[in-house]
Amino acid sequence: MKKQFLVLTGIFAALLFTIASCGDKNDTPPKTKTQLLTQGSWKFKTAAVGTSDFSSALQSCQKDNILTFSTNGSGNVNEGASKCSGSDPDNNRFTWAFANSETQITISNPLFTNGATTLTLISLTEAELVVQMPYNPPVGISVLVTVTFMH
């Protein structure tokens, strides 16, 4: 009886070990920031200054733009459905690069009129890109705007 108990205990322990070791193993490394940034096009979602919505301060013709970052450091802004000026091209090319240990993105042209060309990276996921940038209106004081883009 004692021998059967030990055999059953051993089998039970081996079974538990086997089940535990067969768990979901995801050996896929996480995506790099470059992979996340360049995996698809980005569309404007929101803009805020602190906790206040700032979206209405940005031009509607710029909020419908579609941003695409390429792995070679080039990018494109597609003007979307509306243009700020009828003579604006449908696509505007830019260059980009990560800076300061990938905590900033520098771009050759501002994404928004009166916006900056250095964007502080707040977060970057499969679905969202959140950056902060100084915004210098023609009249008034400069503010730090947090802009969220989505796929």
Distance (Å, rounded) from C-alpha 73 to C-alpha 106?
10
The answer to whether position 26 is within a domain reads: no
Closest CA to 93 of 70, 113, 114: 70
Return the CATH number at 79.
2.40.128.540
Q: What is the DSSP letter of 82?
A: -
**Cα–Cα distance, 83 to 80 (Å, whole number):** 7
Report which of 107, 82, 110 is spatially closest to residue 97, judged by C-alpha positions. 107
**Tens digit of pLDDT at every position of the chain (151 positions):** 566 655 556 666 665 566 666 555 667 899 999 999 999 999 999 999 999 999 998 889 999 999 999 999 999 999 988 998 888 899 999 999 999 999 999 999 999 989 999 999 999 999 999 999 999 988 889 999 999 999 9
Report the C-alpha gap between 132 and 48 in whole angstroms.
9
Asked if residues 109 and 88 have their Cβ atoms less than 8 Å apart, the reply is no
In a domain, 51, yes or no: yes
Q: Is residue 71 part of a domain?
A: yes
What total of structural domains would you count in the chain?
1
Q: Which residue range forms the structural domain that includes residue 137?
A: 32-150
How far out from the chain centre does Cα 97 lie? 14
Q: pTM of the predicted model, to two decimals?
A: 0.80
Backbone angles phi, psi at 8, to 5 degrees: -65, -40
75 domain residue, yes or no: yes
* DSSP state at residue 107: E
